[in-house]
Amino acid sequence: MKPLGASALVTGDGAAPAPDRGDPPPALEVSDHSLLARIGLKGRGAQGLLERRGITLPRSPNSWCVDAETLIVRLGPHEFLLEGPRVPGVDTAGIGPEDLVYPVVRQDTALALRGPGLGTVIAQTCAFNVRAPDPQDRPAFLTLMAEVPVLLIADLKSPVPCALVWTCRSYGAYLFETLMTLAASSGRRPVLRPPDHRDRFPQSSYLAHPQRETP
């Protein structure tokens, strides 16, 4: 299920250009993946449906995994978010009420964040201490950032701290501007990267796939 319309951050009016080679690295790099295909599934039959499609799932709620370039986040015992270039191939045709599976439209603003200033930005905006859990457990947090609801996965202990964050489209521009403003307060310019910039999240390469605007 491909998100509709244009990304809220396509213009990137508040973003600084990429630094020259002689400049220090930016405190925060942000890339907008709002147009990446995603779908939500919930209901008591959702796990069985996905397993029958051969998709590997996180074992416990509030965790994530990657299977064949698809990111799967388990939001609860019976609720899943799938995102990535192969999501349009997930067959949900023929689902009936008896299957107890309910597709959920996900029109999120989705941001990939990375850089040495990320830990400080998250500490200033996030209602939960994301440093406490072990990132090897692949935790996913339903929390608040800058007082708006978000889904967040992060690894602040890697050599280059990185995170993925999803929020409602109506909050997307506000959250983006807040993150960029806080990163700029460090004295090093934040950078908005194009969505096909080769971001990397631990054990995931799905962010490397470019997005295209819908004509």
Model confidence pLDDT, tens digit, residues 87-106: 877 777 778 788 899 988 88
Confidence of residue 121 (pLDDT cuts 50, 70, 90): very high
Domain count within the chain? 2
- Report the C-alpha gap between 88 and 38 in whole angstroms: 8
Cβ burial, residue 78 (10 Å; 0-12/13-18/19+):
middle
* pLDDT tens sequence across 155-194: 888 888 889 999 999 999 999 999 999 988 877 778 877 6
128 and 93 in a common domain = no
Beta strands in 7-138 (DSSP E): 29-32, 38-42, 63-67, 70-76, 79-83, 102-104, 108-114
Predicted pLDDT of residue 201: 42
pLDDT: which is higher, 158 or 122: 122
Other Cβ atoms within 10 Å of 182 Cβ, number = 20
Domain assignment of residue 151, yes or no: yes
Indicate the residue type of 193. R
pLDDT score recorded for residue 21 = 55
Domain range for 60: 38-104
User: Cβ atoms within 10 A of the Cβ of 130, count?
Assistant: 20
Q: Please indicate, yes or no, whether residues 78 and 117 belong to a single structural domain of this protein.
A: no
**Among candidate residues 26, 4, 9, the one with its CA nearest the CA of residue 160:** 26
Tokens of 116: 């040495």
Q: How many CB atoms lie within 10 A of CB 168?
A: 13
CATH number (domain holding residue 54): 3.30.70.1520
Per-residue pLDDT tens over the stretch 36-80? 889 999 999 999 999 988 899 998 999 999 887 789 999 999 999
Using one digit for the tens of pLDDT, what is the confidence trace for 102-118? 988 888 999 988 888 89
Beta carbons within 8 Å of 20's beta carbon, 6+ residues apart = none
Which residue has better confidence, 10 or 128? 128
CA distance 140 to 82: 13
Q: What is the pTM of this model?
A: 0.80
pLDDT of residue 43: 94
CATH code: domain of residue 157 = 3.30.1360.120
| Backbone torsion region of residue 62, taken as left when φ is above 0, otherwise alpha when ψ lies between -120 and 50, otherwise beta | left
For residue 64, being part of any structural domain is answered with yes
Q: What pLDDT was estimated at residue 18?
A: 46
